[in-house]
A and B are shown apart, each in its own frame.
Chain A
């Protein structure tokens, strides 16, 4: 997944919503691990449309 750093609010919402627990928010950086199945849930729920498929 690709994060638009200009939009992201670092709210952690995507982290808690990811069914694979594949995202980690460390300070102001979102990290995605290999468990991501590209389901798109995080992108759909982001309140500021900051996520997109790479």
Chain B
């Protein structure tokens, strides 16, 4: 059997894996990045919306190559049609980009390669390898059908929602049913939607989630839905709700579908612990994703960067034990844990509200002077009139 030896093996070349590989390689570590698919960033499993601020934090320079659109604003709607629109007229508005994920993910992988990481495509990790003392010493993989072994001092599990590497390593990444949103998205053309506004529709149209319309230019948009399976009507799946929404909205009368994709997001506040001896979990694999928005690109990039930095430090003492990796836990928790927890609580409450209350809430938000659409600002407004919605986590708002 072919055996490869390296310092760090990273499983999954999504944003989390590529960032981890880049920082490991840049720190002088011999780094191998495995990707099971035939193309990085494709097939798409994303609505491609991001805010802008975090890019600088993780050292990513905005590049027109992967920016499809610079948004002017956002619209939040209730099923009854009440809408809150945030646009440039509100001074200081912070809106976001719509990306070309397939190009964004490749750009990050290219950065990793330029830093010295070795990318192995169509190489699927199938298990972890343990040494005589039970410690993880690498991963088993299949490279275009051939079984190989990659031996490393530490493994970075960046395998996304599937999060199997962590489980093979004994870290429980299983989600509660109520912490899972099933998604489906159509890339549609012939649409009559605003070209530079991201739209979100919440309420009964998408139980426990929302419908999104993120424009890609020229009458094309990502039109998708996330639903909490446990709240769906019997026999109804995500596709049922999305098709119903599209059928009832006249803007889609002439719409045609160019691409269909599925994908899931976790809506929990992150794993209890995302490290163990010789292994670190990052991004979706660590369940670090915003429980309300399902936005996870920034979280994957941050956790990937933290993992890379910590592994470089560990290498200096050649200690990759759980204890030595704990600074990673501290870094991601200090940066994101409060917000993840707050949004997880808010998600649980929002899922219980009926359309009348949602309608009223969106009316209230419209009447407020919010300058940036984010969960924090919206919850602040909600807290004023519906304190019960935020009861138990008011301190985090």
Interface residues of A (CB under 8 A from B): 9-13, 15-17, 19, 21, 24-27, 41, 44-49
List the 9 closest pairs (A to B, CB-CB), nearest first: A11-B262, A13-B264, A47-B238, A9-B262, A16-B161, A47-B184, A45-B229, A15-B162, A16-B162
A17 to B37, CA, bound (A): 20
Closest CB-CB distance, A6 to chain B, in whole Å?
A: 12
A9 to B36, CA, bound (A): 16
Please give, as numbers and ranges, the residues of chain B lying within 8 Å of A24 by CB-CB distance: 126, 164
Interface residues of B (CB under 8 A from A): 36-38, 43, 45, 124, 126, 142, 160-164, 167-168, 173-175, 177, 180, 182-184, 229, 237-239, 260-264, 266
State whether B164 touches A21 (Cβ < 8 A): yes
State whether A13 touches B43 (Cβ < 8 A): no
Please give, as numbers and ranges, the residues of chain A lying within 8 Å of B177 by CB-CB distance: 41, 45
State whether A11 touches B163 (Cβ < 8 A): no
Known: A45-B182, A46-B237, A47-B238. A13 touches B161 (CB 8 A): yes
Residue ID in chain B nearest A7 by CB atoms: B239
Q: Which of B142, B180, B184 contacts A17 (CB 8 A)?
A: B180
State whether B162 touches A25 (Cβ < 8 A): yes
State whether A12 touches B239 (Cβ < 8 A): no
Q: List 15 A-B contacts (CB under 8 A).
A: A9-B260, A10-B43, A11-B45, A11-B261, A12-B45, A13-B182, A13-B263, A16-B160, A16-B264, A17-B175, A21-B174, A41-B177, A45-B180, A46-B237, A47-B238
Closest CB-CB distance, A46 to chain B, in whole Å?
A: 7
Please give, as numbers and ranges, the residues of chain A lying within 8 Å of B183 by CB-CB distance: 13, 47
Please give, as numbers and ranges, the residues of chain A lying within 8 Å of B38 by CB-CB distance: 27
Please give, as numbers and ranges, the residues of chain B lying within 8 Å of A27 by CB-CB distance: 36-38
Q: Which of A10, A45, A49 contacts B264 (CB 8 A)?
A: A45
Residue ID in chain B nearest A47 by CB atoms: B238
State whether B162 touches A48 (Cβ < 8 A): no
A27 to B126, CA, bound (A): 13
Please give, as numbers and ranges, the residues of chain A lying within 8 Å of B184 by CB-CB distance: 9, 47-48
Known: A9-B184, A13-B182. A48 touches B237 (CB 8 A): yes
Interface centre among B38, B168, B239 (most CB of A within 10 A): B239
Please give, as numbers and ranges, the residues of chain B lying within 8 Å of A12 by CB-CB distance: 45, 160-162, 263-264
State whether A47 touches B239 (Cβ < 8 A): yes
Q: Which of B45, B142, B167, B238 contacts A21 (CB 8 A)?
A: B167
Residue ID in chain B nearest A49 by CB atoms: B237
Q: Which of A13, A26, A44 contacts B262 (CB 8 A)?
A: A13
Please give, as numbers and ranges, the residues of chain A lying within 8 Å of B174 by CB-CB distance: 19, 21
Closest CB-CB distance, B141 to chain A, in whole Å?
A: 11
Please give, as numbers and ranges, the residues of chain A lying within 8 Å of B261 by CB-CB distance: 9, 11
Closest CB-CB distance, B351 to chain A, in whole Å?
A: 16
Closest CB-CB distance, A16 to chain B, in whole Å?
A: 4
A41 to B182, CA, bound (A): 12
Residue ID in chain A nearest B37 by CB atoms: A27
A41 to B179, CA, bound (A): 13
Give 5 A-B pairs besides A9-B184, A15-B161 with Cβ atoms closer than 8 angstroms.
A15-B164, A16-B160, A24-B164, A45-B182, A49-B237
State whether B264 touches A44 (Cβ < 8 A): no
A53 to B142, CA, bound (A): 29
Closest CB-CB distance, B144 to chain A, in whole Å?
A: 10
Residue ID in chain B nearest A10 by CB atoms: B43
State whether B180 touches A48 (Cβ < 8 A): no
Q: Which of B45, B229, B263 contacts A44 (CB 8 A)?
A: B229
A9 to B163, CA, bound (A): 18
A9 to B261, CA, bound (A): 6
Please give, as numbers and ranges, the residues of chain B lying within 8 Å of A9 by CB-CB distance: 184, 260-262
A15 to B262, CA, bound (A): 13
